[in-house]
Structure 1
Amino acid sequence: MRKWVFLCLLFLPFLSLAAEREIRIGLIDTFDQDFYLETFVPTIEHIQKTLKDYKITVIELQQHNLLANVVKERPDFLVSSAGNFVTLISKLGAQQIATVSRNHAYSPKEAVSSVFIVRNDRKDLQKITDLKGRVLSATEPHDFDGMLVGMGEIAARGFDPDTFFSKTLFSHYQYPDVATYVKVGAADVGILGTCQYEKLLTTGQIQPGEFRVLEAKNNTEACIRSTERYPDTVFYALDTAPIDEVKAVSLSLLSMPKGEFDFEWVPASGFLKVYDLMKSLKLGPYEHLRETTVKDFILSHQKELLLAALLLCAILVHVVRVNWLVNRRTEELKFALAVQRATERKARENRQKLDLLEKSRVISQMSSIFAHEVKQPITNLIYYASALSLLLQQLGVKDDRVEYALKQMNSQAKRTSDIVEHVRSYAKHKANRSEVFNLVEVIRRAINSINKEEIEGVQTTANLPQEAIAVGDSFEIELAVLNVLKNALKAAKNSLNPQTSVSVTAQKHMWKITITDNGPKISEEIFSALGRPTSTSKKDGLGVGLSIVLSIIENNGGHLTFRRIEPNGIAVDLFVKKKEE
């Protein structure tokens, strides 16, 4: 027992010395995962490698109640943003050792900044001042090179950053992230930190042209920005750190070579700008500016405030009475105006209905006259083609090309005659000729009937099953599909990458034919008028093409619907009856 006591007393000074040679490094948790893996971990590994006689202990500190957390954990050194550094200078005697210097930065003291991003289609957001009252998305409330630097830019424009945005959504480095909030419309604008916009583009999380940076600075830097530049991450010692440890850590940091992540630690200045930023935001060393002295003011002005309160109550009573009278009269006027507007709207709708009925009547009459006058010449054309074929046979003239041309002439003339007959049947309101047919063959015939000039330059895809047995007038369905497809081709040719598609899917009792195009976006007024006889923007159109298609489909027991496609284009769904099993 005496021997063991002697050995403990002998090695006690050495054990005490070993305990004193611990270096405690704190990391204030306001950085993203990339910083932790690409900057902080390599730095700690280098310190451990160069200071083998010291035990390196890493402490993660939360931003909430920062001062209390630092006092409780007692780190010797801290790694944080420049904002937290200037906060702790006056409170805990923080002393800079080094600042991160990266290749993409203008300089270590002008390295971090923020960008404001909006969706490219938001034409109403062109400047930072246009963001007032909008919804913001950001990563963290205390993210220095994101939220704080961005809010500093708002303050520099003369606005109160605490009330400038109506609402703020924080992603906390999770999904949905800042860009996703903006993309789906949950937020109007997003704030990203240094080079985060370029990183999202590089990783494919956002696409080129999908977002726009507001008030991008004109510079030659590697990363775009909307704000001023501030110093990068700071490695600093607190006032309680032993001088030998400060010297050892300083030598280790400043001698650290650039690794695979291309950064180094260097001495830097430029923290006066950080002080100005924190003052404009009333944070850190200037957080006391948020404190109010309302209690002292009330106690020292009790009589004046009482008189002001009585006067205010009298004014309020008067204002309430006047407002009540005004609101009563306003409601009466609103009711009278509403009745007048309803009457005017009803009269306008009746006039529109009469115009449409008149137009439909005229078109019906014209169609009947046209069909009647054209049928005889077409019949003669068929007879002449047949007679010419017989004459060639009698003369013994045999030419495959002539026979093919006569057959095509006869076929097209009969097809024209069928079209005329269908026009006459619609003018006379005759029932359609129902039959069982393969809808896929009808659609393919419609596609093959389109001229090369009409389809040239447009990428058209067809997703059709092998067979789709339907019931109705196959000739009419073919005309309907052909009409809609031609409209889609004409609309698509006005886009940069013209595309159309035709597909058939099975419903409960119907086959759904979907024809889409990526033509330009149309107004709500034009979209609501689709399928009704009205005016048209086409130079050679009557404005009744889709209304005829609607009549054909409904006459065959189906129906027609129109849908918008985002970001532009129209989808037309034609529903045709299935053959019952």
Structure 2
Amino acid sequence: MDCVAGVFREVDARILLLTFPKSSVMQIKQILVSVCSFCFLSITMSSYAAGTSPEIDTRPLLRIGYIERSFSPFERKGFQDTFEYLQRELPQYRIRIQNYLVRDLERGVRNNEFEFFIGASGFYRRVFRRGLKDLATMTTPMAPDPNEAVGTVFMVPNDSPIKTVADMRGKRAAANFERGFSGVYVPLGEVAAQGYDPDNFFNEIVAAGSPMKKLLLAVQDGRAEIALARACTVEELKQTEPELVAQFRPIGLKANDGQFACLRSTDLYPNWTFVATTMAPWQASRDFTVALLSMPPTKDGVAWGVASDFLKADELYKTLRAGPYAYLRIQSVGDFLQKYWPFIVLFLMAVVGMMWHGRRVSHLVDVRTRELRQSIQKEKDAMQEVQSTKERLSQFERVSVIGAMSSLLAHEINGPVSAISNSCNALDRYLQDDDQHSPLIDKTVQLVLRQCERITSIVTQVRRYARHEDLAREPIELGSALEKIVSVMQMRYRKVKFELRRPPEDVSICWNPLEFELCLTNVMKNGAEACQVQNEAKVRVVLTRHEYTAEIAVLDNGQTDAKTLENASVPLRSGKKSGLGLGLLIVRTLIERASGNFSIVREAGHTVARIRLPLTETNNGADAG
């Protein structure tokens, strides 16, 4: 089915309908021979590509790309014979032929999709800069010189007013492809050779396709006024479509000085060329070159030779400033802008976008850097404040410990000192009635009495110091003060979540701020250390305002038992390795001195430390109002 489809793709059904009743028996036989040959070649190639042997074929695979639509029927038969010959002469290779369109073949060369390809000399030179090497060039009976085989003949209807090349100016021309070498570039080269501007000579070039008959039909249909036919295709079509060809005449014909036997209106260029790409192994290039140059002419006279003059194709592209010489069109800044303005606009947009992106990124980096520095500085300041507060509270705690110990010692030592003093006074009265005792005893008793008085004086001074009679009291707004302490404690104990609940109105007491801070910090610290081993350690501080008092409750979810709480209330007894057992004693002492009370209990799975303090007169007045 592929074979039949390929045949009907190239042999237009209209040709068969037009020619069958009027063609000779010989012409019909030629068509049938071409059909059978093409089918045989397709079947042969398919068998080689698919492989008929169950064994794995380890022969090197060599792919040959070609443009079947560009071939004339005569050339197609010559290529079929050539492929069959290569299969026979080079059995050490697996040869696969691949059909392409013009643009696809150029892409295949660029992407290294095959080892060899067959292309027009113009196509070969257009992609020559990609590292290609011509191996052989086709020769035919009508064009035996491989250097002079491809040209163009200008065909117009017999009744057309166009007589010369100059008359074609401003007309519509039909070509095989938009970028066809013989259909577009060669005719434009002739236009340029006669002194005209090839870029603006034709009004339009219509891509009518292949074979050449389609060009003549495009002129008959009114789509074009001139057919730019490849040389020798007119002679081939005349054998099968003599009446169609008879309706047209050539213009601008050139004389054939050499062996070229076809009508032409332009200069001649090398024929179809077999080219090796950079993918071809050197041994395969050698074997293909030898095989092609050694191939005997086919029964139609097709053979392969060596083209030595591709310079004409290069000069054609240079004249037209096309193909590899397209850069010659840029002769001024205006040309450059006109040709590349879309890319220039995209480039400028990309540059502007990159500049904007760079500035944006730089700005974001500056902002993030500034925020990071501020955050680091805030953390440093907070840590310094925490350290300063810690040192200040530690110092005050030591002073409070001394005061508490002094109060304890002063309270407890008064009893023994009073007993000693009373005993000495009794002994002194007794000795006054006894004149027989030694004077040394009197001196000793008086010394003991004086020392007891001194001890009493020292104790009195220590108790006065312990009472901090010189520490001033001032109003404290509990809400804001607790927020500050909770914030500091949160930074010290990051694994513990601190939560403060306070009423919306202000709650004020009168106390020394340092003593207040020491007491609340100590209580919160104990709560945090008690619960920090929990998975969700939490300390909740609740401020409640009553009628005459303010209550501060510190709750933690630590697993503190009742015995531990009982020991915590006993002086000099602590459950912590580094503790002295004086913390809660100091807290209780300071709170009671501020006319408040302190308690610590276990309620509903939480340890609750409560501090009650009297409100200031302002708060009481507000309540009364």
Q: TM-score range by the shorter chain?
A: 0.3 to 0.5
Q: TM-score, normalised by structure 1?
A: 0.45
* Higher alpha-carbon Rg: 2
Q: TM-score, normalised by structure 2?
A: 0.42
